[in-house]
Amino acid sequence: MIDTSKEYWTGDSADDIDEYLKEYSENSEIDVKPVICHKCGNDSFQLRVDQDEEAIQIKCVKCNTKKIILDCEEVWEDAQPRLRKCPICKTSKEFNLKVGFIRRENGNVKWVYIGNRCTNCGTLGSYLDWKINYEPTEEMENNI
């Protein structure tokens, strides 16, 4: 359940990111996928993000597996990513993560949204979103 009573929305589980991204993207058709560690199944990560280059790398907090997700590998060399701390509770560096895809009529992805939830205080947010200007997008979509 999302709590909208505070200045920033909070959620008590990762699933609240789905609803948050619908509101944030103003698109109820957004296709939201969970990000789960392929090695250990954990769903909380440290995030290294460059908001200018639109790049994100995740690190599983349980097994330390790192992954540059979606199509961010292409810009990673030029990126200057910073490890993110929750701006609200200012203590946690752990987030649940989902990705939202807004699709074109032919099914390919037009816009990508990152949805994040601080595992400490529950604050929901979106560190990044970016436009996809190539097709097909299947390989990018599956790289989570």
Instruction: Return the number of the residue (92 or 137) whose C-beta is nearest Zn ion.
Output: 92
Contact 110, 103 (CB under 8 A): yes
- Residue 83 binding Zn ion, by CB under 5 A: no
> Rounded to an integer, what distance in angstroms lies between the CA atom of residue 126 and that of residue 119?
14
- Residue 118 binding Zn ion, by CB under 5 A: yes
Give the Å distances, CA to CA, from 105 to 86, 99, 108. 36, 19, 7
Tell me the H-state helices in the chain: 16-25, 73-76, 138-142
Q: Which of 4, 12, 52, 63: binder of Zn ion (CB under 5 A)?
A: 63
- Residue 1 binding Zn ion, by CB under 5 A: no
Interactions with Zn ion, residue window 25-54 (CB under 5 A) = 37, 39-40, 42
Stretch that binds Zn ion, among 64-72, 76-84, 93-101, 132-140 (CB under 5 A): 64-72
Q: Which of 12, 66, 89, 104: binder of Zn ion (CB under 5 A)?
A: 89
